[in-house]
């Protein structure tokens, strides 16, 4: 199954996007909800939330959150960590 096929079976819900410019380059922080595509009328699929950071130490980093509110708070915590105003965040327990 190719990457595009997998993406076609998922629904992404944007929560927050930020870009920081640092001496080493651009850092992108994206938080979004991910759910499998609904398969029927009124189908309910659970949403999991993730924050992805690219441009830090040449490797993407990510955190998982259990709920929308956790994702919003977690996104802010990641920004605080990247700008030196807070500790590295810990993802919510699954």
| H or E, element range at 51 | strand 48-54
Backbone angles phi, psi at 60, to 5 degrees: -70, 145
Give the whole-angstrom CA distance, residue 10 versus residue 48. Answer: 11
Tens of pLDDT along the chain (94 residues) come to 455 555 567 788 899 999 999 887 899 999 999 987 665 566 667 889 999 999 877 666 899 999 999 999 999 999 999 899 999 888 765 5
Confirm if 49 and 67 have CB atoms less than 8 A apart: yes
Instruction: Write the DSSP assignment of 3-44 as a string of letters.
Output: HHHHHHTEEEEEEEEEEEEETTEEEEEEEEEEEEPP-STT--
Per-residue model confidence as pLDDT tens digits over 39-63:
556 666 788 999 999 987 766 689 9
| H or E, element range at 53 | strand 48-54
């Amino acid at each position: 199954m190719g990457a595009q096929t997998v993406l076609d079976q998922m629904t992404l819900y944007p929560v927050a996007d930020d870009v920081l410019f640092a001496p080493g380059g651009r850092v992108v922080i994206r938080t979004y909800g991910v759910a499998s595509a609904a398969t029927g009328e009124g189908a309910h699929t659970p949403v999991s939330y993730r924050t992805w950071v690219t441009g830090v130490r040449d490797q993407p980093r990510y955190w998982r959150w259990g709920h929308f509110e956790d994702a919003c708070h977690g996104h802010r915590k990641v920004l605080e960590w990247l700008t030196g105003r807070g500790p590295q965040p810990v993802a919510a327990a699954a």
